[in-house]
Structure 1
Amino acid sequence: MTTEKKKQLRTCLKGHQYYKSSDCPTCPICEADRKPTTGFLSLISAPARRALERKEISSLKQLSEYTEIEISSLHGIGPKVISILKEALIENNLHFKTN
């Protein structure tokens, strides 16, 4: 027996209406509107971007002050995002902090 959650119509604080089956309160329309168009944060998914924002990481220099393990442990950061972040760091002559 599968237990699929039914999508519910929701309205965000800005008045956007959207359907979502998860408990996540994030409005996909608002999230798309605030996605950066340049820089390394524009290359990663919204959950990964929010995880870095919660740690107040908005630049590659700030990112380089963390180890790969620290960043990997954040919710929303998986192997694909780590590879994107590593590539962005290398392109800017930076790297994750070593232990």
Structure 2
Amino acid sequence: MDGERSDSVLAEVTHWFFEDYLPTWVGVGSGTIHRAPDFILDYWSAPLHISSPTSQDWLLGSDAVTGLAGTHSNGVAGTELFPYGCSGSQGEGLSRRRCGY
């Protein structure tokens, strides 16, 4: 991918990630945006692979993916975006979570 196209993809992904996805996810998790748990299906679908430092799993149905909407976050400490091409990219975010809420 050439530099100009890479910049364009990065700009589009950055806008989507920071202006749509991340504010919605954090807002729903913190309770400042009220949406049904299936809001997550606007962004993710099954099968979905999830992982953490201690586990990994495949979520095979919409109900399992919707269960992710119960995780609470009070913000994002850091992010990084990687465009792979004109049709794919990766976004990583380190969220600050509160247990027991």
TM norm structure 2: 0.22
| Higher Rg | 1
Higher RCO (Cα < 8 Å, 6 or more apart)? 2
- The structure richer in strand per residue is 2
TM norm structure 1: 0.22
